[in-house]
Structure 1
Amino acid sequence: MQIKRKYIPLAVNGGIGFGAKLKPKQLAVLSNYLEEDTEIELTTLQQLIVTVPEDELDEVVQKLEEVGLHTYPVGKFVKNLRTCNFCKGELEEGMPVAKELNRRIAGQEVPFTLRPAYTGCPIGCGEPLMNDIGVMKDQETFELYIGGYPKGRDARPGRLLRKNLSPEELFNLVDQIIEIYREHGKKREKFNRFVDRFGYKQIADAISHQ
């Protein structure tokens, strides 16, 4: 009797860089672990969603990381940071901060899928105000927004929570917000609805600079 293999979804992207770009070598390595008729989903979060055999997951992740691809779990987790294209250079647009923020938060388990976004200047190409947690770099400091939602009649921009933040202050506040959501959010409660129910002011009062 043939044992049926179990497949699980895996999110893949090229990491935080100058735009959402992939290299032919990366795609070639990815194709080694996909069956011929496998469908690949391209999401608005700059991710490819693929399905891989569960018993090969560790090997797949290792081989993808060796060619510079990043992998993330699919489901009720913090998604990878959606970014702009960093049009003026790594340091000026704050790419190191974006990379570190993504490293700290992506993949954390939360009540429902949480979408963070980052933009390197006030033009806002990364659409931070239309995502759950948004970060905007303004000269040498950062602004933090929460509660944005991009769809349908409920669409709205996020509200400014703090401004003039240093990188460490930003990291600390985002960590606190995610922990508040994890502790008080209901199962499958979207973050924008959590902000409405729990209260923007209560979140603002609960976080602190450390």
Structure 2
Amino acid sequence: MENSEKIKIAINGGIGFGSKLNAKQLATISNYMDEKEELELNTFQQLYVEIPTAKQEEIIEEFTQAGLACYPVGNFVKSLRTCNFCKGEEAEGMPMAKELNRRIAGRPVPITLKAAYTGCALGCGEPMLSDIGVMKNRDRYNLYVGGKAKGKDAKVGSLLLENLSPEELYEVVEKIIAGYAATGKKRETFYKYTKRIGIPHLMG
């Protein structure tokens, strides 16, 4: 591609069962890559790709038309990580997961925040190891916070609330993220934030 100022964005195939892309989406992405350029796959089920800043809006619109979801890169809430294997859209609660992702992904925070969702107790989406994790339990949802997947102090998240309706879940998660964005220290991870203020005080 021509030399020009570029911006890095994160993309994926939208919220579904794992991180999947179809041929049309791959072809669309490749239109904006040179032969020697590479895609970077992160642990949030996203691909990082660099696009010309001058054509950012135009390219993002083209990606969106191909069914790709686009997100900012940096200190934001990442797109919701989901299960890899299950296929039952309604049974596994994917409509709720898509709406939760729409509400929180891309919000600015002190440092990258990882959220995850799983449709059953197997936890394939790794909600217990994420900053904020949601696990479906029949027709209700359990909310976990403060998980940490890396380091010698890695830990499973703590159960904050259980048996939430979708609307209750949206409200609580948005309130927690808003509090973290407002009172978290610069580059303070959500894990450290929960330790500093105490999990019972996450909702104010």
TM range (shorter): over 0.9
**2:72: which partner in 1?**
73
Letter in 1 for 2:22: K
Letter in 2 for 1:57: Q
Q: Does 1:188 align with 2:166?
A: no
**1:160: which partner in 2?**
159
Percent of aligned positions that are identical: 55
Q: Does 1:41 align with 2:40?
A: yes
Letter in 2 for 1:115: K
Shift of 1:199: 1.4
Q: Does 1:198 align with 2:187?
A: no
Letter in 2 for 1:55: A
Shift of 1:198: 1.6
**2:7: which partner in 1?**
8
- 3-state SS of paired residue (1:50): strand
Shift of 1:201: 2.0
**1:128: which partner in 2?**
127
- 3-state SS of paired residue (1:83): coil
Work out the CA distance in 1 between the residues paired with 2:186 and 2:99.
Answer: 28
- 3-state SS of paired residue (1:201): helix
- 3-state SS of paired residue (1:164): strand
Work out the CA distance in 1 between the residues paired with 2:122 and 2:165.
Answer: 20
Q: Does 1:93 align with 2:100?
A: no
**1:21: which partner in 2?**
20
- Given that 1:86 and 1:95 are in contact with CA atoms closer than 8 Å, whether structure 2 keeps it comes out as no
Q: Deviations over 1:160-180 (max 9, x none)?
A: 110010000000000000011
**1:60: which partner in 2?**
59
- Given that 1:144 and 1:161 are in contact with CA atoms closer than 8 Å, whether structure 2 keeps it comes out as yes
- Given that 2:17 and 2:87 are in contact with CA atoms closer than 8 Å, whether structure 1 keeps it comes out as no
Work out the CA distance in 2 between the residues paired with 1:51 and 1:154.
Answer: 34
User: How many residue pairs are counted as aligned between the two chains?
Assistant: 203
**2:105: which partner in 1?**
106
Work out the CA distance in 2 between the residues paired with 1:202 and 1:106.
Answer: 23
Shift of 1:34: 1.7
Work out the CA distance in 1 between the residues paired with 2:106 and 2:58.
Answer: 19
- 3-state SS of paired residue (2:98): helix
The 1:21–1:88 alpha-carbon spacing in structure 2 relative to 1, beyond 3 Å, is closer
Work out the CA distance in 1 between the residues paired with 2:87 and 2:50.
Answer: 36
Structure 1: gaps of 5 or more residues = none
- Given that 2:18 and 2:81 are in contact with CA atoms closer than 8 Å, whether structure 1 keeps it comes out as no
The 1:100–1:86 alpha-carbon spacing in structure 2 relative to 1, beyond 3 Å, is farther
Shift of 1:19: 2.8
Shift of 1:36: 2.5
Shift of 1:18: 2.8
Structure 2: gaps of 5 or more residues = none
Using structure 1 for the length normalisation, give the TM-score. 0.93
- Given that 2:147 and 2:155 are in contact with CA atoms closer than 8 Å, whether structure 1 keeps it comes out as yes
The 1:111–1:28 alpha-carbon spacing in structure 2 relative to 1, beyond 3 Å, is same
